[in-house]
Structure 1
Amino acid sequence: MSQRIALVIGGTSGVGLATARMLRERGARVHIVGRGKERLDELAVSDPDLVGHRADAADGDAMRSVVESVGRVDWLVVAASGGEGMGPVAELDLEVLRRAFDSKFWVHLTAIKAALPHLAPDGSITLISAISARNDMPGTAGLAAVNGAIESMVKPLAAELAPIRVNAVSPGLIDTAWWSGMPEDARREWFASVSRALPVRHVATAEEVAEAVAFAATNANVTGTVLETDGGARLVTLA
């Protein structure tokens, strides 16, 4: 079998980067897409085996250009993440929520459409949603709408695109740069509180979630599935 080709959208940090590294360790030729030149330059030094592409994943033309330069894609992973959409619905700015859909849901759909002509017949598409799609935490209705929209595509796409496999991974709280906007002391206090409530008693690392993403991407018998990797957050109340 020829070397597998992986394309990770949002692969320059967090879960995306951890997934790219894991797929590389499994022998794949891994291409990563990110918007920031500085970050891509850093990874060209630290991870020279990862092939970097600078592009805005929301730009359909740019994504088509990237995929065409890659050629065949066996494993497409869409790990793009937005930072907006949280807050009580009475106070939620609808323009902010529209931006949240633009930066995550529409990015996922744009990446799928751009990659489809180049996906191997036995390839896979793995999307990243979040536990907010099915949780009941107050203040997350906007996030639930964005991530629920992503998850709602999984089953019909798995049936429509077969034998290409389509799955999603639904993480809970992850210790990544997504939280960098929170003061360090407040973040540590919040993480400690959540850890006490979670059945697994710790906040996930990017690598733990990436293991689930790599599994969904590479296991030939998994399709139409939303794989929960939330540390049991759906089983408890996180205040």
Structure 2
Amino acid sequence: MNKHTALVVGGTSGIGLATARRLHGLGAAVHVVGRDQEKLAAVAGTDPELAGHRADGGDRAQIAGVIESIGRIDWLVVTLAGSEGPGPIADLDLAMLRRAFDAKFWGHLTTVQAALPHLAPTGSITLLGATTARSGIPGTAGIAAINGAVEALVKPLAAELAPIRVNGVSPGLVDTPWWNGLPEEARKAYFAQAAEQLPARRVATAEDIADVVVLAATNRNLTGTVIEADGGARLVTLG
């Protein structure tokens, strides 16, 4: 049996790295792409079985060069994200929001377009959105628009690219380095408060979401689906 080849763009930390580890555990040859050389070096130290590549997913030439060097890809996972985007609409810096769109939405689209010639006919594309796309949380209009745009790609691409499967995963609150900008005590206090309100009574780990991403990537009967993995956040109002 031929080994599957997986490419995780944005795979040097958080959900992306957890997904890469899970896919390697399934026996796949796994490549991870990141922009930060220090993170790539750290992954090389902790996970030498993962092949690291430095590139910007939003740069067509860079990401195309990486993909061409890999060859055929069975499972493409795009977990690009950025820290910019939140804020009340009255004060939202639109230049910052454009950067955030570049980092996530355009990064997803550029990566998918560059990968198409190299995707196996029975392969899959899995995109990462967020539950903000369908929530009414004050101060999230910007990131809701970004994640909504990413998730809106799923159904039309699944129809257009068939039999290649296209799915999305929509996480809620996840304990990842995305929160590193918040002071440690404030982060812990917010997570504890949120856990009391979430129906799942816990804040997700990167590994929790990675399990769902792997399901979307590898299950041959899933396509055109955005899987909500938010611990029930859409059912309640988080204070």
- Find the counterpart in structure 2 of residue 156 from structure 1: 156
Matched, 1:6 2:6: yes
- Write out aligned runs for 1:127-138 (5 A): 127-138=127-138
SS of the residue 1:222 aligns to: coil
Q: Write the distance in 2 (CA, Å) between the matches of 1:61 and 1:160.
A: 24
Q: Write the distance in 2 (CA, Å) between the matches of 1:82 and 1:132.
A: 14
Percent of aligned pairs with the same amino acid: 64
Q: Write the distance in 2 (CA, Å) between the matches of 1:56 and 1:149.
A: 20
**Match for 2:45: what amino acid?**
V
| 1:211 positional shift | 0.2
Matched, 1:18 2:15: no
SS of the residue 1:227 aligns to: strand
Q: Write the distance in 1 (CA, Å) between the matches of 2:186 and 2:43.
A: 30
Matched, 1:205 2:205: yes
Q: Which runs of 4+ in 1 moved over 4 A?
A: none
- Write out aligned runs for 1:67-106 (5 A): 67-106=67-106
Q: What is the TM-score when the length of structure 2 is the normalising length?
A: 0.99
- Find the counterpart in structure 2 of residue 232 from structure 1: 232
**Match for 1:231: what amino acid?**
G
Q: Write the distance in 2 (CA, Å) between the matches of 1:160 and 1:201.
A: 39
Q: Write the distance in 2 (CA, Å) between the matches of 1:116 and 1:22.
A: 23
- Write out aligned runs for 1:191-202 (5 A): 191-202=191-202
| 1:96 positional shift | 0.9
SS of the residue 2:221 aligns to: coil
Unaligned runs of 5+ in 2: none
Q: Write the distance in 1 (CA, Å) between the matches of 2:41 and 2:85.
A: 30
- Find the counterpart in structure 2 of residue 119 from structure 1: 119
Over the aligned positions, Cα root-mean-square deviation in angstroms equals 0.6
- Find the counterpart in structure 1 of residue 214 from structure 2: 214
- Find the counterpart in structure 2 of residue 49 from structure 1: 49
Q: Write the distance in 1 (CA, Å) between the matches of 2:163 and 2:192.
A: 43
Q: Write the distance in 2 (CA, Å) between the matches of 1:152 and 1:36.
A: 28
Q: Write the distance in 1 (CA, Å) between the matches of 2:154 and 2:43.
A: 31
- Deviation string, structure 1 residues 8-42 (Cα, Å, up to 9, x no partner): 00000000000000000000000000111122112
SS of the residue 1:116 aligns to: helix
| 1:46 positional shift | 1.3
- Find the counterpart in structure 1 of residue 29 from structure 2: 29
* Number of matched pairs: 239
SS of the residue 1:39 aligns to: helix
